[in-house]
Amino acid sequence: MTVKKKVKRPVRSNAKLISENEALIHELAEAKETLRAIQNGEVDALVVSGQNGEQIFTLKNADQPYRIFVENMHEGAASLSVDGTIFYSNRCFAELLGVPIEDLIGTSIFDFIKAEGVVEFSYLLSSENSHRRSSTFDFTTSKNQSIPFLISMSPSEIGGGNGVSMIATDMTQQIQIKEYEKQSKELAEAVRARDEFISIASHELKTPLTSLMILSQLQLKMIAKNDPKAFEEDRVKDLASKTVAQTERLNILVGDMLDITRLKSGQMSMKKSNTDLFKLCNSAIERLSAQFISSGCKPPLISGTKTMGYWDPMRIEQVINNLLINAMKYGNNSPIVVTISSTNEVARFSIMDHGNGISQIDQSRIFHRFERAISANEISGLGLGLYISQQIIESHNGKIWVNSENGNGSTFYFELPLGY
Amino acid sequence: MKKRILIIDDAKEIHESLNEALGFEGYEVSSAFHGLDALQTLARMDDKLLPDIILLDLMMPVMDGHKFLEEILVANNARYAHIPIVVMTAKADPVFNGTNRPIALLSKPMTIDRLFETVRCFIL
């Protein structure tokens, strides 16, 4: 059996409680004000009453300028224990984190560091290295904003134990400036590439234009002179076929320029249908055979069999044409071999020439827009062919690449998923 | 005797059209496809059969027009000094250094009249 003991509570009237509360509130306000005044350096000395009478603690000693400096500076400053507990924070750091100082003290710095920085931060905290250690960390403020801080730590004793003093510099602006600098560099490069492209494109367009202009004006001159040659059937035919060839060339150049614009704006659509890669290759070679022969090059040998897939035949033929013409341009008139092979999943096309080959550095460049391994002065063309080809192959989820060694010829490959 | 013109250009279609036009005007035209090709062609020629004018493209493989000018105006000066060289180019404003200047510029695409005038003007 238990006996409940009656606890005697001191009896206080409501009025007394209220007045005690008021006194406590007043004391708290006074204490807060004192703290604020000390932090702001407005207090020279404190008089503390004790058993031994009143003692004077002066604050206007050698430390005061430093305290004001740390409190008022526009960088975050804090003292941490090695486990990351915040012992002290200046006003700026608390403001940056969006937490009142009194709430910040005693919490862990890790509450604010983004996950990816935690390991490195604890390493810096516990490092035996007595030198200054610094790195950049992303913090999350109480308002869920992200702030990149450059943190510099130096070891210091806190309350007799090990700890670190830390300066936190808000890097938001610097990082933004760097980002802008990077962007403006990229833009300048894009403008340069575009200008070069326009210059090459206009040069390329002017060649067939010159030929067209001279030939048609010559015809007019001959007609004006009543030159019977102007009306000879063979001559008229020859003129017409040259005109057609030049306008076709102009059309291809303009087509390439349009493709580039379409690719850039993502408007190049693929019209896929059941397509035989082998047949496509044969007809492309056949169509180019006259051009091969006139450039002093034998038409390529082709090996392979019927290889069906679900692709855009016109676009894939464009890629094959491009690779064939490249092999003709750069293959030093050596034999060219085209091979078609396939597995259950992919079809592979390869074209091997025995030209000068492509250096490692150029191999990484040639698929970029406006790039070619040889300078614009050397070979005509817009330098867009491989870039457009790559875009076409990639929009079929395939890949295109080159194996080459300087002096030992090049083999270009592309691989296409069958797409069924 | 027919006046002779050497055309140096890497584009086949330029040769085709200029040969026909200049042939129609009564000139004898020979062709080279880049600077080195032209230097070799010139070196093989008898002094009496050297061209009366050279029409030169700038952007060409192997040896471009600038290099050709350098070679012919400086290195082989004596033999070719008298031959006027006209540059035909699609470049907006080609830059030449002091010693390697052509005698005139033809901007591609040029009209047939401008071509004929230029040739007439500089053939001695």
Q: Least CB-CB distance to A207: which of B11, B24, B112?
A: B11
* Complete DSSP assignment for A137-186: EEEE-TTS-EEEEEEEEEEEEETTEEEEEEEEEE-HHHHHHHHHHHHHHH
Cβ contact B16–A242 (<8 Å): yes
Q: Which member of A208, A217, A377 has the closest CB to residue B13? A: A208
- 3-state SS, A234-291, equals HHHHHHHHHHHHHHHHHHHHHHHHHHHHHHHCCCCCCCCEEEEHHHHHHHHHHHHHHH
Q: pLDDT tens for residues B58-85? A: 888 788 898 898 888 776 567 888 889 9
The tens digit of pLDDT for each residue in A99-135 reads 999 899 999 999 999 999 999 998 888 876 666 688 9
Looking at the predicted structure, is the pLDDT value of residue B114 above 70?
yes
Q: What is the ipTM metric for this complex? A: 0.89
User: Among B17, B108, B115, whose Cβ lies nearest the Cβ of A206?
Assistant: B108
Asked whether the predicted pLDDT for residue A361 surpasses 90, the reply is: no
User: Chain B partners of A199 at a C-beta cutoff of 8 Å?
Assistant: 91-92
Q: How confident is the model at residue A364 (pLDDT cuts 50, 70, 90)?
A: confident
Report angle CA A329, A334, A335 to the nearest 5 degrees: 110
pLDDT at A213: 94
Say whether pLDDT at A380 is over 70.
Answer: no
Count, residues in chain B: 124
A379/B61 CB distance under 8 A: yes
Nearest residue, CB atoms, A215 vs list B20, B92, B113: B20
Instruction: Tell me which of B8, B14, B17 to substitute to probe the interface with A (most A C-beta atoms closer than 10 Å).
Output: B17
> What does the pLDDT look like over A14-45, one tens digit per residue?
888 899 899 999 988 988 887 787 777 677 77
The mean pLDDT value for A88-101 works out to 93
Q: Which pLDDT value is given to residue A277?
A: 96
Q: What is the mean pLDDT of chain A?
A: 84
Is the minimum CB–CB distance between A207 and chain B shorter than 8 Å? yes
Tell me the average pLDDT across A225-252: 85
The residue among B5, B58, B59 with the most chain A CBs within 10 A of its CB, best to mutate, is B59
Any B CB within 8 A of A241 CB: no
Interface touch B11/A203, C-beta < 8 Å: no
pLDDT at A294 over 90: no
Between A374 and A343, the more confident residue is A343
Exposed, middle or buried, A112 (CB in 10 Å: 0-12/13-18/19+)? buried
